[in-house]
Amino acid sequence: MSFAPGQVAGEYRILEQLGSGAFGSVFKVEHVVTHRLEAMKVLGATAPASEEQRLRFLREIQLQARLSHPNIAAVHNAFWHEDSMVMIMELVDGETLQKILERGRPARMEGIGYVVQVLDALTYSHSQGIIHRDVSPANIVVTKAGVVKLTDFGLAKAPYDSRVTATGAMIGSPYYMSPEQVRGIDRLDPRTDIYSCGVILYEILTGQKLFDYESAFSLMRAHLEEEPRPPAEIDPAIPRAVNDVVLRALSKDPRARFPSAETFRKALERAVSPPQERRAAARVLPAPAPGPRRPLLPRFPWRYALRWLAAAVFGVVMAVVLMAAFRWLSRMPFPTAGAASNAIEAQTAADRVIGSVRRVVANVAARHELPALPWSAPPPPPPPPPPKAPRARNRGAAQPAGGQETARGESILAAREQPAPRALESILKLLARTPVVAAPPSQPPSPEAPAADAPREP
């Protein structure tokens, strides 16, 4: 089927033909439902395509459809129409870099801006594992706004994919081929695209092709053997830093080139001077039209608000902790100033404890058949005081109570002759050392009878 303006292919109405080549034709079309203008690339529009061409076109559709970048022409749809394969892609309103170079050398910063955008597109495609392998001015479209679109991924190749070209086949445009492509190396890496970008940058800066030969053989031999003439020798106005960047990108050995497209782009931006030109080279885009400015609203001081909130929370926590500590301390018994008024109760409690211990000691002594101790039983009550006798005139007369005192003293000495065990003595000494608040006596003790709790001399 022949494609002509006015015909409908699928859901697209053909408006006009934009161009044609050995691998197909490109038309400007309109979607019959959305009325969106798009570009339609048809393989075999004028002549039947070979199997290799079909495979190449299919690979272009599949690989380019995986990419989404502002500097890469987007693929929207693809289908078969009768015997022809059709690809619907973004319509780029502009012209190729090849036509721009044919009219003459562009301004230096404008041309560097084009290369910077191409390197951005290659950085993205390389990160997706896709190598273009055919970077040339014919595959770079520049819009009227100065935006670059990289197209024609027909020779693009994913890593370790051997279905596009056979080993030893020459691929790419002869003027912009890398030495690896000339040698026919199948497994190429991203540095082959860096060499092609270097050739384009050389042509933009100098207005001359890197190697200007008529035959393809001479061009391939020059890429392998000849050293390029430094751009600064052709145009002394080119900065030395830019000259060095171009020569590094054109190194014959891939290991001497920039390791990635991003590194190439950063080096090129650093080489451009002065700083205002560096910013212009980063993006050659028109400045947006100034719109109505929105009133600036005062920003809420979140940092200070958070600080005050944290301080408030800390204060509440500390208050709760202090209240809990005060409540706990208020429940603990503390001695008061009126404790001295309870001296009688304290003496009574102490007497009860000492009495209980003494009873336990007496029980232990009785169980083990130990001699009786004066502490093993409660002391006898003091005898009543004897009646007062009339004072005898003869001081040498015998006292009537002297016999009682002698008998009691003998019993005490007899008791002392039988010593108590040392353990009991230690317990009793400990009890004797226990401080007890003495209660005021109800009546004065008799001078003749010793106190019951007074310790006796050994």
Residues that are catalytic? 134
Rg (alpha carbons) of the chain, rounded to whole number = 58
What's the rounded Cα separation, in Å, for the pair 71 and 122?
9
What's the rounded Cα separation, in Å, for the pair 350 and 147?
106
The three state secondary structure string of the chain is: CCCCCCCEECCEEEEEEEEEECCEEEEEEEECCCCCEEEEEEECCCCCCCHHHHHHHHHHHHHHHCCCCCCECCEEEEEEECCEEEEEECCCCEEEHHHHHHHCCCCHHHHHHHHHHHHHHHHHHHHCCCECCCCCHHHEEEECCCCEEECCCCCCECCCCCCCCCCCCCCCCHHHCCHHHHHCCCCCCCHHHHHHHHHHHHHHHHCCCCCCCCCHHHHHHHHHHCCCCCHHHHCCCCCHHHHHHHHHHCCCCHHHCCCCHHHHHHHHHHHCCCHHHHHHHHCCCCCCCCCCCCCCCCCCCHHHHHHHHHHHHHHHHHHHHHHHHHHHHHCCCCCCHHHHHHHHHHHHHHHHHHHHHHHHHHHHHHHCCCCCCCCCCCCCCCCCCCCCCCCCCCCCCCCCCHHHHHHHHHHHHHHHHCCCCHHHHHHHHHHHHCCCCCCCCCCCCCCCCCCCCCCCCC
Question: 243 vs 66, 115, 233, 235, CA distance in Å?
Answer: 35, 15, 9, 10
How far does Cα 375 stand from its chain's mean position?
81
Per-residue exposure over 306-316, b if at least 16 CB sit within 10 Å of its own CB, e if not: eeeeeeeeeee
What's the rounded Cα separation, in Å, for the pair 319 and 52?
84
